Amino acid sequence: MPLVAVWGEERVEAWVLEDDVWAQVRATYRDRGLVMACGEPGVPVERAGTRYFRHKASCDVHEGGPESPEHLATKALVAVVAREHGWDAIVEAPSSDRSWIADVLVSKPGAPSLAIEVQWAAQTPTEFDRRTRRYEANGVECAWLVGPKNTDRGLWNIRGTANALQMEIPVGLAQCREFVSMRAALTRWFRSELRPRFEAVVEAVEVVTAMSKCHNERCGAWFSYWWLGAVQLQTRCGQIGTVELGSRYPTWVQDRPETVFQQAVHAAIAASSVPAATEYRAEHSKQTNTDYTAQHCPKCRWHLGDGFIIAKYRNWSSYAVPVPLTRLPLHPQVTAVRHLCVDVGNGRCAPPKAEGATYPSERNQSGDVVWFNSFGVNSGELEAGPLPTRQRGASGSFTRSSM
């Protein structure tokens, strides 16, 4: 049930026509002519307060059969809200050869044309893919608003009745979702507040430590092995979240995020009751014939190989350590979180293109998996507690009895 037709030489949209104009269309369409977007003749119809056009005969270009009142209302609302926010919106926009008709085609200077398709009736994944690829072949992007019969397809979910439409939008960085009025959701959309990626700085790190003794016989100093289990982020739009970097100590890694935060972690551990932190420096492993970033004794600078670290059971403990706001190059799969991005005075999220090393890295130089639980993004702060404070008068030196 199309909403748009050409009446004589005038393009008309049924849902916005004044009553007197609609009456003129119904009275004169036989003489002036009424042509649908597909090029076929049509008839103006009004049922239960809903105005639309129907074909005089069957049509293969308008896909999906008769459209429900919810479908018609959704198309109309998309166009109205888009126009309110400076977008050009053409309802039932045909391709040049009329091989397809987009429910709503929106465009804006500096942005690619976007076909917004509304699908309340059930549709197979194959058909979604076919119709999407058809738009892409014409240089047009495609977004789907899908009803309850098509949920769980990673698309934009909608529900409700023609007079009470709702649309699902993302909430927070954990990719949770909630339904709000469709007008409110579309307003966010056309304001570019529903962003596909986040941009963030690190404000704290989860430091995983285990106390040990230097195996250089001439040293024997106590120190703390350490690595990063997660980072706490603050997005440009003011949201707080964490990125999990792994559940086990990663081995023989060349580019390590620990080197970025080494100074802050050393200072925090030095001010605590935990033994001094090891130092990360470039090293070569004879065992694996690999160049990697290894830990070293903070006293004698002895190379503490990764193989030695993981060969023995260690009692790892986790602590949250605040760090100066730092940009850490994150893997594109990490930042690919669609979220509500409202400007809180710093602009909106627009992460720069990732170049060089990004974190977390899944594999080391030898191709082995080193990061576990990769790409886990959660809302909220780190769950780890603070480092234990040093008791007043404590010397800061450690012996076997200190363990």
Report the distance separating Cα 278 and Cα 262, nearest Å.
Answer: 9
Q: What 3-state class would DSSP assign to 324?
A: strand
Residues 6+ apart with CB under 8 A from 87: 106, 107, 108, 190
Asked whether the predicted pLDDT for residue 72 surpasses 70, the reply is yes
Confidence of residue 401 (pLDDT cuts 50, 70, 90): very low
Helix H or strand E encompassing 262:
helix 258-270
Helix H or strand E encompassing 114:
strand 111-119
Amino acid residing at 155 = L
Return the pLDDT at 370. Answer: 52
Report the distance separating Cα 260 and Cα 158, nearest Å.
Answer: 43
List pLDDT tens digits, range 113-169.
999 999 999 999 999 999 999 999 999 999 999 999 997 776 799 999 999 999 999
Start-end of H helices in 137-225: 182-190
Confidence of residue 184 (pLDDT cuts 50, 70, 90): very high
List pLDDT tens digits, range 271-322.
999 999 999 999 887 777 888 899 999 999 999 988 888 888 889 999 999 9
List pLDDT tens digits, range 324-375.
999 999 988 889 888 999 899 999 999 888 788 888 865 554 555 554 445 5
Report the distance separating Cα 24 and Cα 72, nearest Å.
Answer: 22
Return the pLDDT at 363. Answer: 54
Query: Considering the chain, what is the average pLDDT of its residues?
Result: 87
Return the pLDDT at 362. Answer: 57
Report the distance separating Cα 145 and Cα 116, nearest Å.
Answer: 7
1-15, 42-56, 233-247, 370-384: least confidently modelled range: 370-384
Report the distance separating Cα 81 and Cα 65, nearest Å.
Answer: 26
Asked if residue 201 lies in contact with residue 325, where contact means CB atoms within 8 angstroms, the answer is: yes
Amino acid residing at 196 = P
Residues 6+ apart with CB under 8 A from 44: 5, 14, 22, 25, 26, 29, 34, 51, 52, 53
Q: What pTM did the predictor assign?
A: 0.76
Q: What is the mean pLDDT of residues 2-18?
A: 85
Asked whether the predicted pLDDT for residue 396 surpasses 70, the reply is no
Asked whether the predicted pLDDT for residue 270 surpasses 90, the reply is yes
Query: Higher pLDDT residue, 60 or 351?
Result: 351
Return the pLDDT at 136. Answer: 93
Report the distance separating Cα 188 and Cα 182, nearest Å.
Answer: 10
List pLDDT tens digits, range 364-375.
545 555 544 455
Asked whether the predicted pLDDT for residue 65 surpasses 70, the reply is no
Return the pLDDT at 368. Answer: 54
Dihedral sign of CA atoms 337, 340, 344, 348 in order: positive
Return the pLDDT at 394. Answer: 54
Q: For 306, list phi and psi in degrees, rounded to 5.
A: -60, -35
Asked if residue 90 lies in contact with residue 82, where contact means CB atoms within 8 angstroms, the answer is: no
Report the distance separating Cα 379 and Cα 25, nearest Å.
Answer: 54
Q: What separation in angstroms does the CA of 223 have from each of 70, 317, 395?
A: 66, 14, 14
Nearest to 316 by CA among 220, 379, 381, 229: 229
Percent of the chain with pLDDT over 90: 53
Query: Higher pLDDT residue, 331 or 180?
Result: 180
**What is the Rg, in whole angstroms, of the alpha carbon atoms belonging to the chain?**
30
Nearest to 117 by CA among 161, 149, 148, 156: 156
16-25, 94-103, 369-378: least confidently modelled range: 369-378
The residue length of the chain stands at 403
